Structure 1
Amino acid sequence: MAESLDIIHLCEDEKFINLAIEQFEFCFPGQNIFYVIPNSLDEKLKHVSQSDFVIITNQEHLILIISSLPKGAIIILHSLSPRFYNFVIHLPESLTVVWLCFGFEIYKDPIYFNDRVLLDKLTLRKFPLRKVSVKESIKEKVRPFYRLFNQKLPLSKKEYKQKALKRINYLGSSFKEEFDQISKMINQRKNYFSFWYFPIEIIVEIDKPFIFPKTNMLIGNSGFNTMNHLDVFHKIKRYHLDNMNIIVPLNYGKPEYIEYLLIEGERIFQNKFNPLLSFMDLHVYNSVLNSVGVAIFNNKRQQAIGNTIALLWFGSKIFLSEKNSFYHYLKRIGIIVFCYESELNEKSFSKFLSLEEIEHNRRILLKELNKEHLGKLLKEQILKINK
């Protein structure tokens, strides 16, 4: 009989945590506890489904449970929220900590990442980014020296985060290229832990046929400036679009950015510009994606992964930035995908994928991302940690 494990999860109330619950319970039934911090003061869960192994908690309660954690427990952090820092810092060294990185922890922190590199020229010029104040920068640099004379000086947010990061044993990401990038930015080398929240069966109906002919193109997946829509608009504005409509999902993001894109998109493309401004359920949205022949994602870091996988499955020709780690992952596993910077031109833009190329991409996606394969990989990694 296999040894029973104690897998302790810490997460916030996010929709896709249910998918993590499903995967971990599929591999290790009855061996998981999910401690969930609600997003609202009424301490009710909005997204995560209630069950016997889902426990609502808060920062104070987390500290109290540390002493009762089983000796060989494996701690899984679903993101590294600031609300987790104190818990992580106080964990016994005997416990293994796995951080499943969401990306925001590093990419939205100017201490670790200069987000100017995420924006193309036009977007950066029109929508300049945040800056760390000189005052805050000086305070962070002086604080360690000041502590030499005042040991009671509390840790700053930066110091708390650094201390929490040092306590982590494994860094989890969907693919190795992103793991390497995050490791470089935090200047720490962790063990690699591979985890996908979304198996291919969750993203698309794998038995549903793809549509021909495809009459639309798609730019980006949201109304955030990191998608660099303006630069794409100006790169393709003189292409012969013929009967192709331009779909631009803008149903969430930054309001002032979305407003500007609506004006600029209509000015450049007129009646071919088709922004999506309302939320759709997954079935309806996938029907829209199934009509797309060409999709352009000019984001410089991993974003829109679910959209990209769905579009590849439906037979779209995808252009991704060479600065995006996801582009390099797809190329490594053999997916037919194209470089935004060097391969997007009017000729390549007008030639869609062949049936053979679409079927090639589907075979690879199904092999790499099917639920059974991901479950096997998850089980192997957890059992290896538990040795």
Structure 2
Amino acid sequence: MIIHIASDEKFINSAYWQFNNIGEKENIFYILVQDVDKKLKHVNIEDGMNLVSLNIRNLKILGKSLDKATLVCFHGLDYYSSIVLNNLPRNQKVLWILFGKEVHNNSHLLNTKKNIGEKTYAKFLSKNILDRLKGKYKDYFRGVYYRIRNKTGSPFYEITKAMKRANYCGILYKEEFQLVKEKLNTKIEYIKFSYYPIEKMIGDINSKISGINILLGNSASTTNNHLEAFDMLKKMNLDGRKIITPLSYGDKNYKNEIEKKGKQILKDKFKPLVNFMPLHKYNAYVQNCSIVIMNHYRQQAVGNVLAMLWMGSKVYLDKRNTLYHYLKRIGVNIYEISKDFIPENKEALNSLTVAQQEHNRACLKEEINKEVLLNDLKIAINSVICR
């Protein structure tokens, strides 16, 4: 029996489908929610799924009760799921499927400032000495609060402890895994896993790009470094193009400021998306973007990037992003923002040729089609279970 600990995230039904199609092991999902009587936003409840309230005492009991599981799989790690993991029996095998934010937003592991451009940091995150002192005191008293109220460590402490306890890390590509393993300094092992086979990521796998607009970023978060991207875009000849900028989830204050700045700098070419769209509807909307700029310095928006590449877009990434190196390794035509998206490059806004588009699709099909991912997952899970 494989136990899954998850939250109400849009990826979970895909994980349910994959794990139930790789073998005869029973899969039980515990979905951790604020209110068990409230309808879920993303997860469609299926056989073998159970709702569990965010009650610390019950989460500790749940962790201790999972001694009969062959494997316990955690879909991302937040404070509450980490409580479950940190209360598992000592010898229980643990697979942690990496979301990304549990590592990259964790100041206990990384210097999170490195993920933010200078202009973005100065505008949204810089603090004076008094604010920094307040932050240190707040961190200290947060730890005291959690020890007294919940008899746990602070959220960052529990999440870091949980990550270091995991035996296996599930993620699509090894470049990001190596970064995580180095930061954790553990013997954690790699398992190839992606929530979205290309057939599930794209509503119609025959979809192709049909316009010349530019897709910028994936959310209203500082790690998109929109201000730095605006500085690059304003130097380019954007005649006839719109800058499609998704801001439908993330920080509301950041969203409002980016909307204002985008309109100031890019005028009527700036087109923010402020309302949430289902994945397939979103993919149809951005199908008119032949150019994609994801100005993240860390792994982010992997699904968006893969979907746009599949449909034929020309994608620009920052070289600090491990996703850039993964795509280069598997042979995808991928471009570096600081080197290739510059006014001096007369081909910067040229669309990919038909041959380049077909080459990219062939590379992705070999890596993330349904049969390949299911087979890779089946081999990995059987290997884990047999140890």
The bucket for the TM-score relative to the shorter chain is 0.7 to 0.9
Q: Which runs of structure 2 are paired with 1:195-210 in the superposition (5 Å)? A: 195-210=193-208
Q: Secondary structure at the match of 2:29?
A: strand
Report if the CA contact (8 A) 2:246-2:273 is conserved: yes
Q: Secondary structure at the match of 1:349?
A: coil
Measure the CA separation in 1 of the matches of 2:217 and 2:247: 9
- Residue among 21, 31, 34 paired with 2:29: 34
Letter in 1 for 2:30: Y
Pairwise CA distance, 1:211: 4.0
Report if the CA contact (8 A) 2:224-2:296 is conserved: yes
1:216-264 deviation digits (Å, cap 9, x = unpaired): 1111111212101111111121211121222111222222222222222
Measure the CA separation in 1 of the matches of 2:260 and 2:46: 47
1:289 aligns with 2:286: yes
Report if the CA contact (8 A) 2:64-2:87 is conserved: no
Letter in 1 for 2:29: F
The range that moved more, 265-274 or 159-168, is 159-168
Measure the CA separation in 2 of the matches of 1:174 and 1:137: 33
1:307-330 deviation digits (Å, cap 9, x = unpaired): 111111111111000111111111
Corresponding position of 1:22: 17
Corresponding position of 1:183: 181
Q: Which runs of structure 2 are paired with 1:1-387 in the superposition (5 Å)? A: 6-29=1-24, 31-40=26-35, 42=37, 45-58=40-53, 59-65=56-62, 69=66, 71=68, 73-128=70-125, 133-135=135-137, 156-157=153-154, 159-212=157-210, 214-346=211-343, 347-387=346-386
Unaligned runs of 5+ in 2: 145-150
Cα 1:104–1:211 change in 2 (3 A) is: closer
Pairwise CA distance, 1:201: 0.7
1:324-380 deviation digits (Å, cap 9, x = unpaired): 111111111111000112221122322221110000001111111111110001100
Report if the CA contact (8 A) 1:72-1:94 is conserved: no
The two structures, once aligned, show a CA RMSD in angstroms of 2.6
TM-score, normalisation: structure 2: 0.88
Pairwise CA distance, 1:161: 3.8
Cα 1:171–1:362 change in 2 (3 A) is: same
Pairwise CA distance, 1:136: 5.7
Cα 1:314–1:166 change in 2 (3 A) is: closer
Letter in 1 for 2:136: V
Measure the CA separation in 2 of the matches of 1:140 and 1:247: 39
Cα 1:169–1:30 change in 2 (3 A) is: closer
Q: Secondary structure at the match of 1:364?
A: helix
Letter in 1 for 2:163: L
Pairwise CA distance, 1:209: 4.2
Letter in 2 for 1:363: A
Measure the CA separation in 2 of the matches of 1:311 and 1:155: 42
Pairwise CA distance, 1:102: 1.2
TM-score, normalisation: structure 1: 0.88
Unaligned runs of 5+ in 1: 1-5, 144-153
Report if the CA contact (8 A) 1:336-1:361 is conserved: yes
Cα 1:350–1:106 change in 2 (3 A) is: closer
Report if the CA contact (8 A) 2:217-2:295 is conserved: yes
1:34-88 deviation digits (Å, cap 9, x = unpaired): 1121233646544333333112224444444556546461111111221133332
Letter in 1 for 2:335: F
